[in-house]
Amino acid sequence: MARQGPTIAEAALELIRDRGPLTLDELVPPLVEAGRTKARNPRNAVRAAIDINPEFIQDLEGRWCSLATQLDGAVFTVRLTTLERREEIVLLRDDLALVEQLVLRTRGSAHGAGVHLDYLGDYFDLPLWSEDVDDVPDGELRATLGEETADSLLAFLDELGVPPGDDGQRLREMVWETRFTRVLHGPAGWLPVVGSRQLLGIAISAGAIETMALDRRAIAGLHVEAAANRVARLAHHVIGPDPSWFGPPVVSLQELLEIVATEAPELLRRPLPPFTEVVRRGGLEVVDGLVGHAGTDWDQVRWAASPDPEEAWGFEPADVIH
């Protein structure tokens, strides 16, 4: 017989909203007392329920926080490409990782009525060849995609700053890699009109997404430099104050965003340039979604890193959008 009442994760979120961030040891006793778990090892049961749940993030002290609460009032900015403005989609760059997680929290899918996640390949109805796409001739590839779609995708790659090359090969790589690339999509009109010299603002309010067009002056001022310096200091908790640090040489943009959201959420509540640009203003380097000190040996980092299937593009779009 199914247990009545909220799940472990739902009850844990309610406790966090009521009491603030809590460690696992602080969460377990009230959850057991409320009858949310009768497992022999309730600590493991609670950890398993919240560890992979997108509604939770952890702070530097290991306390569990509500993602929606920590992001309430946050504004993320994006420099949209022509394709994104025309199609009313937003490519989920690495510095929008928490926005993606927030939508996952609401189980936003392509079947939802509101803002949801979609794969770029599915959105454009790109084909999935049964054979290796590298063996598909250029003419067949363009004919299958359609000339207009093929040209639009090539222009999209140009705007993202993907190095030039053989058009056929670039399309083949994109067809293959778009199965791993998510975009935000929504009902007609969900994106405002964003001029070529404006940025898109993605605001979070009570766990919901709102969008707005922002002029460049909205993301300029002394607060940007102050935020960049604070973000750099927060990154130093992981990568140390200088390259001689004995710990990890890099931290992912997503992990750094989680640190900012839990340790200094106020930084996200005033519009800033895209997060990658803020990190760079603080004197750090960003390559392939990873953050390190100036002069980081990125070849060594790539060699030592475990392969990440989400890094299918082979470049960081936010690195090259101007």
For the stretch 291-302, pLDDT in tens is 999 999 988 888
| Residue 285 scores a pLDDT above 90 | yes
- Mean pLDDT score of the chain, rounded to an integer? 86
Quick one: pLDDT at residue 193? 94
Quick one: pLDDT at residue 302? 82
What sign for the dihedral angle of Cα 238, 242, 248, 254? Answer: positive
Rounded distance, CA 200 to CA 181, Å? 20
Beta-bridge partner residues of 89: 185
Mean pLDDT is lowest, of 23-27, 125-129, 215-219, 272-276, for 125-129
Average pLDDT over residues 172-187: 82
| Residue 110 scores a pLDDT above 60 | no
| Residue 306 scores a pLDDT above 80 | no
Confidence category of residue 145, pLDDT binned at 50, 70, 90:
confident
What sign for the dihedral angle of Cα 65, 318, 235, 73? Answer: negative
- Give the SS3 label for residue 22: strand
Average pLDDT over residues 266-290: 96
pTM for the model stands at: 0.85
For the stretch 24-60, pLDDT in tens is 999 999 999 999 988 899 999 999 999 989 999 999 9
Mean pLDDT is lowest, of 215-219, 252-256, 315-319, for 315-319
Beta-carbon count within 10 A of 287 CB: 15
Quick one: pLDDT at residue 305? 66
Q: How far is CA 96 from CA 74, 78, 128, 189, 291, in A?
A: 12, 9, 27, 21, 15
Rounded distance, CA 77 to CA 240, Å? 27
Beta-carbon count within 10 A of 46 CB: 24
Quick one: pLDDT at residue 94? 92
Measured over all CA atoms, what is the biggest interatomic distance in the chain, rounded to whole angstroms?
A: 66
For the stretch 78-90, pLDDT in tens is 999 999 999 999 9
Rounded distance, CA 169 to CA 239, Å? 37
Q: What percent of the chain has pLDDT over 70?
A: 89
Quick one: pLDDT at residue 108? 46
Mean pLDDT is lowest, of 11-25, 55-69, 125-139, 169-183, for 125-139
Confidence category of residue 310, pLDDT binned at 50, 70, 90:
very low
H or E, element range at 311: none
End-to-end C-alpha distance for the chain, whole angstroms: 57
269 class by beta-carbon count within 10 Å (0-12 exposed, 13-18 middle, 19+ buried): middle
Confidence category of residue 107, pLDDT binned at 50, 70, 90:
low
Quick one: pLDDT at residue 109? 45
Quick one: pLDDT at residue 213? 97
